[in-house]
Structure 1
Amino acid sequence: MSSQGSFRLAAYAVCIVDGRVLLAHYRSENWTLPGGRVEHAEDPFDTVIREVAEETGLTAVVERLLGVDSRVIPSAEARAGIEHQNIGIYYQVRITGGDLRPEPNGETPESAWTPLHEVPALRRSSLVDVGLALSQTNPPTGHVPPVPVGGLIQH
């Protein structure tokens, strides 16, 4: 971390089944994609599987890489008051087992299979929109235009 700001590398799961997407309800009241920070020396491929298990109780396998997104949150909007860059690696995953449950002693009190048509009305992280855009447009570059943040969409 430099004095200019903070940096985070994270991996996120996009799982869509029968017109529903798996979302995690973060303690900040925002809905987001299951996922989180890549630990030191951890492969992001393993991170996304670990995070789905920790946050939702479900077992996942990676089907394919969807893309990479870089988000810079200005210091005026960032929680820590310093500019923050989040690089997210998005994977399409398939659930192979487990039972949906809250994260034990964690920051995700609930997860849910949410109909895609209900997502725009949710207070959600911009990560959700990025993941859905990557999944639905399948860009060969693995990159989508920035998602405007405002209204119901939060950083």
Structure 2
Amino acid sequence: MTAIDASEVSDQLLRARLTDVLDRLWIWDEQERAHLTAAVEWVAGGAPLYRTQKPDVPSMHLVSYFVVLDESRGELLLVAHRKAGLWLPSGGHVEPMEDPWDTVTRECREELSIEAVPSAVTGAQPFFLTITRTRGHGQHTDVSLWYVLQSSAGAITSFDEGEFEAIKWLSPQQVLAEPADTLDPHMHRFTRKLMSVVACG
């Protein structure tokens, strides 16, 4: 098998894995359903999935977000992202041929200096899916898988100050009280979905 053939096989396997991950998502609302339909078509259509050149090549690419949850305090960690100018979950772009969960484990170490431990609420599967057009220079579209991790607030003692200006822990009610234009545009929807699952648990 040539290097090109091996690359094609790996790409097909990752697309199959990603399709399976998408199939397992529990859909929260009609917007997430529409995003899921678009994401499944995008993966199946053979378009490039991974960013190969910063900030916007290709114009649509895969991202892994992770929301850290202190389960004992019921608080979520948000970071003040310097480039976006918004309070967001941590995360990053999925590297070529990288599994999205591997992105979570890598970025968790790089950005928060902790190991990625799946939340008991969601496990290691993504909990939420969004497709978002970024703003500012180098606009592009992020297809984002949102994971939920568990950690205590006291365990996070440092963060990547090159990417983030600050971090803060908020209860879900405090997140919902934050002005929508200061957060990721889907943060309120994510929080409501998480609250519904925690309440049912």
Alignment TM-score, normalising by the size of structure 2: 0.54
Please state if 1:67 is matched with 2:128: yes
The separation in 2 between residues aligned to 1:42 and 1:51, in whole angstroms, is 12
In the other structure, the counterpart of 1:8 is 61
**Which whole-Å deviations, capped at 9, do the CAs of 1:88-142 have from their partners, x for residues lacking one?**
01112122895331305x211322222322223252112433432442345xxxx
**Identity value in percent:** 26
- Range moving further from structure 2, 85-94 or 5-14: 5-14
- Range moving further from structure 2, 16-25 or 39-48: 16-25
- Range moving further from structure 2, 128-137 or 27-36: 128-137
More helix by share: 2
Please state if 1:20 is matched with 2:20: no
Amino acid at match of 2:172: L
Please state if 1:115 is matched with 2:171: yes
The separation in 2 between residues aligned to 1:135 and 1:117, in whole angstroms, is 11
Change (3 A) 1:91 1:81: closer
Q: 3-state DSSP class of the match of 2:103? A: helix
More strand by share: 1
In the other structure, the counterpart of 1:102 is 159
Please state if 1:129 is matched with 2:182: no
Displacement over 6 Å in runs of 4+: none
User: Which one of the candidate residues 94, 98, 104 is aligned to 1:42?
Assistant: 98
Amino acid at match of 1:25: A
- Range moving further from structure 2, 34-43 or 108-117: 108-117
Change (3 A) 1:45 1:31: same
Change (3 A) 1:20 1:109: same
Please state if 1:91 is matched with 2:150: no
Amino acid at match of 1:115: S
The separation in 2 between residues aligned to 1:110 and 1:57, in whole angstroms, is 15
Q: 3-state DSSP class of the match of 1:12? A: strand
Superposed CA RMSD in Å reads 2.8
Alignment TM-score, normalising by the size of structure 1: 0.68
- Range moving further from structure 2, 120-129 or 31-40: 120-129
Unaligned segments of structure 1, at least 5 residues: 139-155
Change (3 A) 1:129 1:51: farther
